[in-house]
Amino acid sequence: MKLEVVVLAAGKGTRMRSALPKVLHLVAGKPMLSHVLESAQKLSPDHIHVVCGHGADQVREYFSHDLTINWIFQAEQMGTGHAVCQALPDISTQSTVLVLYGDIPLILPGTLQRLTDEARDGSLALLSASFDNPHGYGRVVRDPDNAICAIVEEADASSDQRKISEINTGFIAAPAEKLKDWLDAVDNNNSQGEYYLTDIVGAAACSGTPVKGVICEDILEVMGVNSRSDLAKAERNFQRREAEKLMDAGLTLDDPSRFDLRGQLEFGEDCRMDINVVVSGTVKMGKNVFVGPNSQISDSEIGDNVEIRANSIIEGAYIADHCSVGPFARLRPGTELATGARIGNFVETKNAVIGEDSKANHLAYVGDASVGQRVNIGAGVITCNYDGANKHQTKIENDAFIGSNTALVAPLTVGEGATVGAGSAVSRDVPAGQLAVTRAQQTVKDGWERPQKNKTSKGESSQ
Ligand code: UD1
Ligand code: MG
């Protein structure tokens, strides 16, 4: 039987107080809707339909790269039942339909699989959970035999029903054909004047279709996001879950509550992250990598035995084995450090290949450059790569020594083993093995004396 997923995402999210559609708000650097779609995709459904309404253009634009989504536009939000109805014409009758919400981002594929499996025999399956504070949720009503007979919304519930702690998460799985029949019969005679998807539960129970409750033990998976406060909770819950997974896989996190993953992290044995490290995009690390506090790493690959010291920012870089970076270093996209290279404090690199055992230990800018092996780049060296219109390359060959406070005006080659004297502005190629110095010659004035203060008699003012 086919599997069709319907994700409801048309609501406004009034309580977010935001111009951004609710499902585009980020959890771990990704829109909530992305998380839901990723979990759904793990079930290999035949189709995924997303019902959008408020901010539909923005939502579709964000996901425009994903051509597998079938977008359904719900012009007016008349309730969850009405929202699912909009998708029905695109759904095969010979399928199981799984309904998800775009604002419940932490749901796991395993839970969705359990729910879907329960509906394969033609039953209606709904995901429920037990909440200490069920306020605001639809309550699952069971008969004396413990069979589910209805879901009643908070607004329509009696005071006894409000005491029920088993809540409807909103996620259901049902056979498409029956779902169509049940939805046809749903009306909006309730306190909110909406077409409730939840009314199909009563309809199914009346028609003799088994209604199966699948209980979600981890309530964090089914927490909805309606406010900024909920969003912050979802973020922390997500991060705690990821941190646990990483630690189980062998990563040392000095404080798991002060580590944020906004992408994918692969790592070898004995890697350690100090506090406040943020990893985003795709990051791969070899063995025995240490990342110091307050560092950010995104879309980078790091080899074995590397030390990233405090407050470093690494983006789109490749760092080979035995390198040392930071503290306070900034490696920008296109940086490649070969084995044993060292980039120290307040050094910025961009589109720069730094050869084996070369170092720029303090206060330098190395951009659009290729640096050979065993090169020393002194403090305050700058590759002047931009002439105001175009970028140019600097090439520094093996064993060159660039003295402190040198401006290398590109395009430029400093030959193998060449030396540039401190304080030079070099704009012509330096031949291999030669010394280039462009600073003004020092003069020493014989007999020069430092000016002295005029001597004035006591009480006289000095001008
Ligand atoms: C719904 C359930 C409730 C459940 C709760 C869990 C109904 C009637 N009630 O209530 O039993 O406990 O979720 O969070 O289903 N949406 C649309 N179009 C609409 C209306 C809603 O796409 O016309 C979307 C929203 O964007 C949201 C989801 O459906 O993603 C749920 O809607 P919401 O208004 O939050 O429903 P609740 O009142 O929370
Ligand atoms: Mg809600």
- Considering the domain architecture, whether residues 238 and 215 belong to the same structural domain is answered as no
Residue 188 within any structural domain of the chain: yes
How far apart, in whole angstroms, are the C-alpha atoms of residue 320 and residue 8? 46
- Considering the domain architecture, whether residues 204 and 249 belong to the same structural domain is answered as no
- Considering the domain architecture, whether residues 269 and 167 belong to the same structural domain is answered as no
The pair of three-digit structure tokens given for residue 339, joined into one six-digit string: 């084995």
pLDDT digits (tens, 9 = 90+) for 201-250: 999 988 999 999 999 999 999 999 999 999 999 999 999 999 999 999 99
Residue 317 within any structural domain of the chain: yes
11 lines ligand 1 (CB under 6 A): yes
CA 252 from chain centre, in angstroms, equals 20
Mean pLDDT, the chain, rounded, equals: 96
Q: Best mutation site among 8, 16, 80, 106 for ligand 1, i.e. most ligand atoms within 8 A of its Cβ?
A: 80
Asked if residues 205 and 145 have their Cβ atoms less than 8 Å apart, the reply is no
Q: What's the pTM?
A: 0.92
Question: Residue whose CA is closest, atom 3 of ligand 1?
Answer: 138
Domain, as residue range, for 75: 2-222
9 lines ligand 1 (CB under 6 A): yes
- Considering the domain architecture, whether residues 188 and 288 belong to the same structural domain is answered as no
138 lines ligand 1 (CB under 6 A): yes
Residue 204 within any structural domain of the chain: yes
Angstrom distances, CA of residue 368 to CA of 142, 384, 412: 69, 9, 11
Report CA(433)–ligand 1 centroid distance (Å): 74
Report CA(66)–ligand 1 centroid distance (Å): 25
Active site residues: 362
Q: Residue 456: its pLDDT value, please? A: 75
pLDDT digits (tens, 9 = 90+) for 131-144: 999 999 999 999 99
pLDDT at 369 over 60: yes
pLDDT band at residue 455 using 50, 70 and 90 as cut-offs:
confident
Q: Which residues of 52-75 are buried (b: 16+ CB within 10 A; e: fewer)?
A: bbbbbeebeebbeeeeebbbbebe
Question: The domain spanning residue 346 has which CATH number?
Answer: 2.160.10.10
Q: Which residues of 78-117 are buried (b: 16+ CB within 10 A; e: fewer)?
A: bbbbbbbbbbbeebeeebbbbbbbbbbbbbbeebbebbbe
- Considering the domain architecture, whether residues 171 and 278 belong to the same structural domain is answered as no
Closest ligand 1 atom number to CA of residue 197: 15
- Considering the domain architecture, whether residues 57 and 191 belong to the same structural domain is answered as yes
How far apart, in whole angstroms, are the C-alpha atoms of residue 84 and residue 399? 69
140 lines ligand 1 (CB under 6 A): no
35 lines ligand 1 (CB under 6 A): no
- Considering the domain architecture, whether residues 241 and 186 belong to the same structural domain is answered as no
- Considering the domain architecture, whether residues 250 and 176 belong to the same structural domain is answered as no
Instruction: Tell me the ligand closest to 155's alpha carbon.
Output: 1
Residue 452 within any structural domain of the chain: no
Domain end: 222, 238, 257, which one? 222
How far the first Cα of the chain sits from its last, in Å, is 100
Question: Residue whose CA is closest, atom 37 of ligand 1?
Answer: 137
Report CA(268)–ligand 1 centroid distance (Å): 43
Average pLDDT over residues 275-284: 98
pLDDT band at residue 463 using 50, 70 and 90 as cut-offs:
very low
128 lines ligand 1 (CB under 6 A): no
Question: The domain spanning residue 132 has which CATH number?
Answer: 3.90.550.10
Overall number of domains in the chain: 2
Q: Residue 357: its pLDDT value, please? A: 98
Domain end: 168, 192, 222, which one? 222
Closest ligand 1 atom number to CA of residue 53: 22
| Residue 30 CB burial class (10 angstroms; 0-12, 13-18, ≥19) | middle
Instruction: Tell me the ligand closest to 150's alpha carbon.
Output: 1
pLDDT at 462 over 70: no
79 lines ligand 1 (CB under 6 A): yes
Q: Could you identify the residue written with the tokens 């093995």?
A: 433
Residue 458 within any structural domain of the chain: no
